[in-house]
Chains A and B, each alone.
Chain A
Amino acid sequence: MLSCKDVTHKLSESLDRELTLAERLQLEMHLAMCQGCRNFKKQMGFLRLACRRYMAGKTSSDSDT
């Protein structure tokens, strides 16, 4: 059973590589029961989106930032 701390590492790594099936299953089991880690996952997704948007603003003149 993964701890919340383990989950933060797995969620960060999921942004950099494809997790194995076993890792994904473990992760899903934990997330199903843990609101804090579900929020953490959404926050990680938000960071990725913000970085993409940041760069998009840097490379086009019609920045929506």
Chain B
Amino acid sequence: MLRGNERVGKMSDPQLPWMNDEAVEAIRRDMIKFARLQLRDAAMAEDVVQEALVAALANGQDFAGRSALKTWVFAILRNKIVDHIRQQSRTTNISALAPDEESLDQSFETLFKGNDHWRPEDRPTNWGDPEEALRQQRFWDVFDACLNHLPENTARVFMMREFLEFETAEVCRELRITVSNCNVILHRARNGLRRCLEKNWFLGGEQAC
């Protein structure tokens, strides 16, 4: 979906006509959605996004276009989110197993026979051409829903690793958990997400396998 705003912004004068209220509002909406997913706290998400936006706009830097502003604002948002996670990790015990995490683990165990090989009916399926799914907006809606569906701490560790692109060792250090614990949590997250996508997208009749 090319909107072409960026080119218009670049060719225009330094008044930055693309940076109207509407443009900033669009970025804000996008950021709030992301911050909510990451922090699971609507009020906190609003605060963090507000702080990030204010910091970005107050900086007075010349942005080459809306895309440059967005990248800049997201970099600030990323740091703010990390700060919040760091603070939270002091008061919550990430390695303690919550009931929803326990039930996800139990449901994973049922995929295997006694010898730890796949039950035929639970064998992972061929998802075909993944690029095709990534081009469809409906897929991203399902993806969002599946992320939201992950247990809170599981999602937090996964998103630090995959979205904020921390190295695993950094995730462990920030959240004060052991590497093996980190591995268990990431495995749980990937499996949960995999099964959710398989059930709700890939076997949902959108794609033959």
| Chain A residues within 8 Å of B, Cβ to Cβ | 3-6, 8-9, 12-13, 15-17, 35-37, 39-40, 42-44, 46-51, 53-55, 57-65
Contacts and interface: CB of A to CB of B under 8 A. Distances in A.
B162 A40 contact: no
Nearest to B168: A16
A56 B140 CA distance: 13
Contacts of A13: 183, 187
Given A3-B115, A43-B124, A49 B130 contact: yes
Contact of B124 (A40, A50, A63): A40
Given A5-B116, A16-B186, A47-B190, 7 more contacts: A3-B115, A12-B183, A13-B183, A16-B161, A39-B123, A40-B124, A46-B127
A38 to B, nearest CB: 9
A40 B187 CA distance: 12
Contacts of A15: 186, 190
Contact of B34 (A36, A40, A48, A58): A58
Contacts of A54: 140, 143, 163
Given A4-B112, A4-B117, A51-B163, A58 B125 contact: no
B190 A44 contact: yes
A63 B1 contact: yes
A55 B37 CA distance: 13
